[in-house]
Structure 1
Amino acid sequence: MFSALRFLLVCPDRDNTDEMRELYLKYHNDARSRLAKGKERDLNRQLGPAKNIYKLSWSCELEKIAKELAQGCGYDFTRHRSYGQNRETFFGSYGVSTFDVKKHIKQALDKWWGKVKNSYVNQDNKYDPSLFEFSNMAHYKNTELGCAHVICPDPSFSKLQVLCVYKRLGYMGGSIMWRNGKYCRVGSDCTIFPNSRCENGLCVRPKEQPDSGASQICGSNGVMTDAVRNAFLDMHNFYRSVVATGRAVDKIDRQAPKAAAMPKLKYSCELEQSATNHAGFCQFSHSQGNNVGENLYTVYTPGFDKRVIAEMATEGWFEELEDYGVGRANILTQQLFNRPGQIGHYTQVNDFV
């Protein structure tokens, strides 16, 4: 098993073995699969079943970040804040600087995932500080992780730190860790990322290629790359297809009606320039005198990958349908637009234009 993994995982950290990587990865995905299938509990109730929980893949880049963050065996969370981070530190016996690393990795994973068994998950499955580490492990939109360990020698008590880094933050205030529903059986059940397939109740996202920084679609403006442009465009068109094929969930009527002849969006460099000009003011308000639809999204944590931001923004806009609903009539009335649970962003993602 591990010889095949060595071929796939060409990561530079020689302290990490492929056996350790497999331990991290299998533990996470087995636990996520149990959650998806409704086989996990908190102190009060059975959790799930859950839809759209994604299978994690290993990231050498995140492993590299984990190794960097673990140096010194400290607890500084101010670096790489756009990634989820779980840390556990173990202390050796007096004068001993050797550790059973695999045993401690398993202990760390058990402790992090086990947090849910001693806590209460909100009915809407939103993050709570008591579930800090668990939230990263369980967050349904997480698709990649990388973990590492560092031994910090000390004349008295040496330390071992185990650290995992996740592509998405599980512990963002108010964020949903997962959404209840039927776990996937086929790829079309997976409605977060385009071209997903299903494996053992988990959705599997195709592997992303690194952003090369190329900017040929609209030329270089120092902000956008073609990879970011395509992330916005692909996510919008995918969600439009989810609606068109009758797979979108509406809070009011449970299932949004199918859409006939919904056109596919094309990328406009002119609209990008308009968006870039207004975004430069860093104000969460719409521009004046600009006769175009605008969706706004802001994050306050620095260092996010711009493709991840493109995905998070589009996801948030589209999820207004499931969170607030439109109804069978599918008509944006003034009353619907002005109610407390607004769906204005969703209507622009799926406007028939």
Structure 2
Amino acid sequence: LTRQLKLISHQYGKRKASFSAWTCGSKISAEFRELITDYHNSVRSKIAHGMERNHTGKLPSAKNMYEVVSVVLYGTCRRADEKISISQCTSYYIKAWDCELEKLAEKIAADEDFDLESIHPRAANIDHRAHCQNFELNYYQDINKSLKRWNYEVREFGQTDPKNLYNDDSLEHFANMAHGKNTKIGCSYYRKGKALTFVCVYDM
């Protein structure tokens, strides 16, 4: 199924994820959540400012992208030291990491036959990695490589639409990372022997 995804961008500030105060009670540590969210925001920031590499040159800058940030909301939205209502929150101050999406990602990773169409309108990125018997798994390195693989699709295959519309299946993982209206994310992994499956689910 080909999805038409449009990048819509907002202004970006230099924010760093911080997950030390909460947990989904799962295998994903605060450090992994920080790595994953910061990587996504780095990609989205580059797109917003017209700095993301294309196959040739740079991608066109987007105009109204939501930043996926690490603020956890409990009825209020934090901006600096003040609290404002959810209805007043800008796209900077949204709940980025969703525990339900993380649980769904873990379920998808563990099931080779999972029907991805069943999670529509959500979308999922999946990366499988298998190592030789004598190679020790390094979760941090493997997850980072998966994120880079998704990001680098646009550098390998190229995007030519001036409006940043993505219709090419070869760019699907990158488009999911960069989709302008993604405001929540949840990722997890499943290990089987020396193989690792890493999945991120996006709220679209």
TM-score (norm 2): 0.72
Distance 1:101 1:147 in 2: 13
Aligned partner of residue 133 in structure 1, secondary structure: helix
Give the ranges of 4+ consecutive aligned residues of structure 1 lying more than 3 Å apart after TM superposition: 72-76
CA separation in 2, counterparts of 1:129 and 1:75? 19
SS at match of 2:24: coil
Match of 1:5 in 2: 19
The amino acid across from 1:167 in the alignment is D
Q: Structure 2 vs 1, CA of residues 6 and 106 (structure 1 numbering), >3 Å: closer, same or farther?
A: same
Give the 3-state SS of the residue equivalent to 1:6 in structure 2. coil
The structure where strand makes up a greater share of residues is: 2
Is the contact between residue 73 and residue 161 of structure 1 (CA under 8 Å) also seen in structure 2?
Answer: no
CA offsets 1:171-205 (integer angstroms, 9 cap, x no match): xxxxxxxxxxxxxxxxxxxxxxxxxxxxxxxxxxx
For residues 282-316 of structure 1, give each alpha carbon's deviation from its aligned partner in whole angstroms, at most 9, with x where no partner exists: xxxxxxxxxxxxxxxxxxxxxxxxxxxxxxxxxxx
Q: Does 1:167 align with 2:167?
A: no
- Larger radius of gyration, structure 1 or 2? 1
Q: Against the structure 1 CA distance between its residues 46 and 27, is the aligned structure 2 distance closer, same or farther, given a 3 Å change threshold?
A: same
Letter of the structure 1 residue corresponding to residue 20 of structure 2: R
CA contact (8 A) 2:60 2:164 kept: no
Match for residue 144 of structure 1 among 181, 184, 196: 184
SS in 2 for 1:86: strand
CA distance in 1, matches of 2:175, 2:114: 18
Q: Contact (CA 8 Å) 2:62, 2:164: kept in 1 or not?
A: no
Aligned partner of 2:150 among 105, 109, 112: 112
CA distance in 1, matches of 2:19, 2:51: 28
CA offsets per residue over residues 18-59 of structure 1, 9 Å max, x none?
Answer: 000100000000110011011012123321322111111111
Give secondary structure in 1 for the equivalent of 2:102.
helix
**1:1-353, aligned counterparts within 5 Å?**
5-7=19-21, 9-13=22-26, 15-56=27-68, 57-73=96-112, 76-94=115-133, 99-121=137-159, 122-127=161-166, 128-153=168-193, 158-168=194-204
Residue 100 of structure 1, CA deviation: 0.4
Contact 1:83–1:167 (CA<8 Å) still a contact in 2?
Answer: yes
In structure 1, the gaps of 5 or more residues are 169-353
Q: Write the distance in 2 (CA, Å) between the matches of 1:59 and 1:80.
A: 15
Identical amino acids, percent of aligned pairs: 33
Amino acid paired to 1:32? R
Secondary structure of the equivalent of 1:5? Answer: coil
Q: Deviations over 1:114-167 (max 9, x none)?
A: 0000123122211121211000001111111111011013xxxx3100100000
Deviations 1:83-134 (A, max 9, x none): 11000011122376x5100100000000000000012312221112121100
RMSD: 2.0
Instruction: Identify the structure with bigger relative contact order (alpha carbons < 8 Å, sequence gap 6+).
Output: 2
SS of the equivalent of 1:146 reads strand
Aligned residue-pair number: 159
Aligned equivalents of 2:105 and 2:67: distance in 1? 20
**Where does the alignment leave 5 or more consecutive residues of structure 2 unmatched?**
1-15, 69-95
- In the superposition, the TM-score normalised over structure 1's length comes to 0.43
Distance 1:133 1:75 in 2: 17
Counterpart code for 2:145: Q
